[in-house]
Amino acid sequence: MKRTAYIILSAVMSAAVWHGCQEIDEAGPLSGDGYVDFVFTGTSPESKSDISWDGTGTFTDGDRVGLYVYGSPTRHIILTMENGKWTPDLRKSDIGTGKVTLSAYYPARDDVDPVMNRHEHKVMADQSGEGYEASDMLWSHKTVDMDALPGNRIELPFIHGMHRLNINVSDGNGTVPDDISVKIINETEGSFSIYLGTLNATTGDKESITPKTLEKGRYSAMLFPSELSAYRTGWVEVSSGGKTAVYKAPEKIGEYASLQCGMETTLNLRLGDGSVTPDPDPDPGSDMEPDPEYAGRTCWVYGVDAPVYPRDNEESVKEYSSLFPEEFPEGVWFKEKTFMYLSWMPGSMWFDCDKDNPSSNNDRPGYHDSNLCWAASASDLIHWWMYHNRHYIEAYDRKYGNPEDYIYPRPSADFTGEGTGSEVFDLFRRICRNVGGVSSSGVNWFINGLEGVPLNSSSIDDDFNGYFTELFDNVNLAVTDRRFSDKPVFNSLVKEALENDRAIGITQSIHTGGGSIHSMVVWGVEFGDDGYVSAIYYVDSNDHFRYEVNGGGNFQRHRCIRTPIRYDEVTGRVYMGTTNAYSISAVTTVDLGREVWEAAFPEVARM
C-alpha cells in the first residue's frame, strides 16, 4: 500500500483527531441485496487532516484489511485486495440489517480474537527500510444504517494509530557530519482496541529504534503514543565523532504531555560539544519540593467512613491464614501473607463490585464478565455517586418521573456485599459485550447516555439516553486522564480529587504475561513524610475468588487492599507494589455534580 500520510505543520506538533471518527450513513432507499463496495479512505469530517489517499486506488493486490462486524457474535473478516477489488464478496445481508457498527484496521492480522476486538501491534526497532511503514497502523470505526444505505458503497475513513517523529540534525555551522547516527528510545509492543480506538503500549519494554533516513540529517520514525515523562532521562541519541549527545523529552510538546495518535512531532536539533540543544528542563519529578500540607496524612475519598491503616503501629495488624478465610475479621485491617486487607462493612461507603468470572475461561456460574473490569469499576463509582446524591435523586424522581418507567429500570444504589451482586453492575453485564472499555465512559453513559460503551446491540443505544439526562445532558462528570506516568502529575490529580470531593479510579498497566490493562478504584490514600502518595487503598474486581476452601464456611469476599506506591526515576513510572510488574497509567475522577444539583433543587441543598 502506498501511504503518503501525516501532515507536516509549522509548529513543533500538530494534531488530527484520531479516535472520534464514528459516524452514521443513513440516507436513500435500500437498493436490493447487492454486493458491498468497501472504500477505505483517509478523510473524515471529524479530522482536519488532509491525508492523501483516494479510495481503493491507494491499495495494491495482496493488501489486507481487517473488518469487525459487531453483534452477537462479533465477526472478524479479513478483506484482501485481488485484481483491484476487495474479497471475499459480501452482500448487504452478510453485514446485517438496521444500524450495524463496523471497525476496520490495516494491516490485518490473523491472530485477532473477535470477542476481545483487541490485537497486538509492534513498532519495529529497525525502521531504516521496510520496518518504517510496517510500524504504522490505520483504524476506522463507523455505524451504518444498512436499511437506508444509498447504493452498495460503504466508506470507512482511516486515521493513523501511531505517532510520527521527525528529526532534523545539524552542527553549529548548519552542516551535517558524515558519521552521524540517530537512535530513538520508545516502547515497541502494545495492543489496540479496535472498538474504542484506544492504544496501549503494554510491555513497558523500551528499545533503541533506528529511524528511516529521509536525506542526510533528516530522519523519521513511527512511535507508540506514550507519555513523555517516560523519556525524560533520554529520548533521542545523536552520535558523531565518537561522542553521543542525548536529548531528553520535554515535559510537554505544545499542549500535550504525551505523544498522541495520528499526530506528528518535528525536532530541530543542533549538535554541540557532546550535547544536543534545545535541552528541556530537568525532570520535575526528581527534585520535587516537599508538600507539608499532606505530609504524613491518610485521606479517604469523600464520604468513606472506615478505619485507616495503623502505619504507626503496624505490629497491631494481625495475620490470618488463607486456609481459614471465614476467620478474617471485619472492621479492622489484617494481614494475609503479603496482603493488607480491610473487609467491607455496611455503612463504610466504599464499594467493591466483583466479577462472576474473573478468568477468561468463564468456568464459573453467572455472567461471562472476564473483560468487564471497566464496568465493575464504573459500578463502584456509580454506587458512590448515587449514595451521596440520594436526596437530590429523590427530588429528581419527583420532578421527572418514576425510574421504573425507563426502558431499563434504573438499578438500585444499594450495595449489600452479598455475593458478587450489584444491580448497577448487573445492568452492564446484561447489556454489554464481554470486551474491554473505559470506566469513565461507563459512568457518563449511565448518567447522561452520551459516551459509548460496548453494547450488545445498537438498538440499546437508540432506546437509552441516560438516567439523569434532564440535568446532565452534555455534562460528563467522569474524566479519565491518560497524559501522565510520573510523580508530579499523579500526585496533582489525586490531591485535586480529594480537595474537590471526587472519587478516584485508576488504570493499571500490567507488564508481565504479554501485558494488559486493568481498571480499579481507589478509596483511600496515604501520604509520606514528603507529602506525596506513598500507599493506596484500592478494590479489585478480580479478587472475589482469591480464597476458596473445600468445606469451609462463608466469609466476607469484598476487601480493600493496601499497597505501597513507588516512583521509578529511570522509567518515570508510578508503580504499585515493590516490583515493576504493575504501574498506574491513567487516573479517572468522578465529580458529584453538586453545582448542577444545587441550582436545580435549592431546597435539597438547604437540608
pLDDT in tens, 470-488: 999 888 999 888 655 578 8
Domain extent, residue 557, equals 284-351+478-590
Inside any domain, residue 2: no
On the question of pLDDT at 24 being above 50, the answer is: no
Residue 271: pLDDT over 80: no
**Domain assignment of residue 601, yes or no:** no
- Residue 67: in which H helix or E strand, if any? strand 64-69
- Residue 53 counted as domain residue: yes
Give the total number of structural domains in the chain: 3
On whether the CB atoms of residues 208 and 187 are closer than 8 A, the answer is no
pTM across the whole model: 0.59
C-alpha cell at 159: 486515521
Averaged pLDDT, 380-406: 91
Label the pairing between strands 37-41 and 153-157. Answer: parallel
Within this chain, do residues 398 and 447 fall inside the same structural domain, yes or no?
A: yes
Distance, in Å, from the CA atom of 186 to the CA atom of 204, rounded to the nearest integer, reads 9
Residues 330 and 397 in one domain: no
Domain boundary among 223, 246, 277: 277
Please tell me whether residues 38 and 79 are part of one structural domain: yes
Cβ count within 10 A of residue 456: 14
pLDDT digits (tens, 9 = 90+) for 400-459: 987 677 778 899 999 987 765 799 999 999 999 998 888 999 999 999 988 778 888 766
Give the start-end residues of each E strand in 419-532: 478-481, 503-510, 516-527
- How many alpha carbons lie under 13 Å from residue 592 in its C-beta half-sphere? 22
**pLDDT tens, 556-592?**
889 999 999 999 876 778 999 988 889 998 899 999 9
At 288, the pLDDT band (50, 70, 90 cuts) reads: low
One domain, residues 97 and 63: yes
Q: Are residues 362 and 345 in the same domain?
A: no
Say if residue 606's pLDDT is above 60: yes
For residues 213 and 593, give the distance between their C-alpha atoms in angstroms, rounded to a whole number: 52
- Residue 132 and residue 22 in one domain: yes
Quick one: average pLDDT of 527-556?
A: 87
pLDDT at 500 over 80: yes
pLDDT tens figures, 219-249: 999 998 887 888 888 899 998 888 888 888 8
Peptide bond into 329 cis (omega under 30): no
Same-domain check for residues 543 and 494: yes
Most confident of 138-152, 231-245, 386-400: 386-400
Residue 600 lies in a domain: no
Note whether 373 and 450 are same-domain residues: yes
Q: For the chain, state the CA radius of gyration.
A: 26
